[in-house]
């Protein structure tokens, strides 16, 4: 969470439940083992958003161990599918195992490859696109994500606030994070200035953009 008040952070984390059943056990395992899966507050917001959507096609960029893919699959309309992309063999292996164990293989299609290349090659329309891969790449893949998102669809981008540092001046940012800082700022600018999108920037999780393609 980018919230800096520890008490508030712990309260929100404590009050929000894990998901139910096997999915909740995967979530708990992910947190305990330090896998980079969406935190509880992000999952809670996404549940609110997705439960009103009944999406048929969801695109996820960044699978990790498959938690958010399995989580989003629960909100699909009949016959719907989550397409998820990752390139890291250890994550892919773990994700495949988890997706099978949770009985969601029919609902989730895994594409193994680099997000930047995969989004360029994808065709068709998605109702929801969840960007959760390399933050420095968001600005580069935004045009393809907008091409793939149907009008009326939701674009959700996670971890956009650089652990709360995004509001600082460039010189206040550690040298090694400056490129990501610039790219994330360009990405946020591109979202808020795009008249085809209604965009909200939220401070939950690592910071999240929630946008609807209105034109």
Ligand X SMILES: C[S@@+](CC[C@H](N)C(=O)[O-])C[C@H]1O[C@@H](n2cnc3c(N)ncnc32)[C@H](O)[C@@H]1O
**Contact status: 11 vs ligand X (CB under 6 A):** no
Closest residue to ligand X, Cβ-based? 62
Is the CB of 97 or the CB of 151 nearer to ligand X? 97
Is the CB of 135 or the CB of 213 nearer to ligand X? 135
Select the span of 35-43, 47-55, 149-157, 189-197 touching ligand X (CB under 6 A). 35-43
**Contact status: 75 vs ligand X (CB under 6 A):** no
Q: Which residues contact 43 (CB under 8 A, 6 or more apart)?
A: 16, 19, 27, 68, 71
From candidates 82, 91, 99, 155, binder to ligand X by CB under 6 A: 91
Is the CB of 177 or the CB of 198 nearer to ligand X? 177
**Contact status: 67 vs ligand X (CB under 6 A):** yes
Is the CB of 130 or the CB of 181 nearer to ligand X? 130
**Contact status: 187 vs ligand X (CB under 6 A):** no
């Amino acid at each position: 969470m980018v919230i800096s008040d520890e008490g508030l952070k712990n309260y929100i984390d404590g009050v929000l439940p894990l998901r139910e059943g096997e999915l909740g056990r995967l979530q708990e395992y992910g947190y305990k083992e330090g896998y980079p899966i969406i935190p509880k507050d992000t999952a809670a917001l996404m549940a609110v958003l997705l439960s009103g959507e009944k999406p048929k096609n969801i695109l996820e960029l960044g699978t990790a161990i498959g938690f958010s893919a399995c989580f989003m699959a629960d909100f699909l309309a009949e016959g719907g599918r989550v397409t998820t992309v990752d390139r890291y063999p250890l994550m892919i292996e773990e994700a495949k195992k988890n997706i099978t164990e949770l009985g969601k293989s029919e609902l989730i299609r895994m594409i193994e490859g680099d997000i930047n290349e995969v989004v360029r090659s994808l065709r068709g329309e998605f109702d929801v696109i969840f960007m959760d891969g390399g933050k420095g790449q968001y600005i580069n893949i935004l045009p393809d994500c907008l091409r793939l998102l149907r009008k009326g669809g939701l674009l959700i981008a996670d971890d956009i606030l650089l652990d709360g540092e995004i509001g600082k001046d460039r010189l206040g940012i550690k040298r090694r994070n400056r490129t990501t800082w610039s790219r994330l700022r360009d990405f946020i600018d591109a979202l808020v200035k795009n008249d085809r999108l209604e965009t909200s920037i939220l401070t939950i999780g690592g910071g999240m953009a929630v946008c609807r393609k209105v034109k």
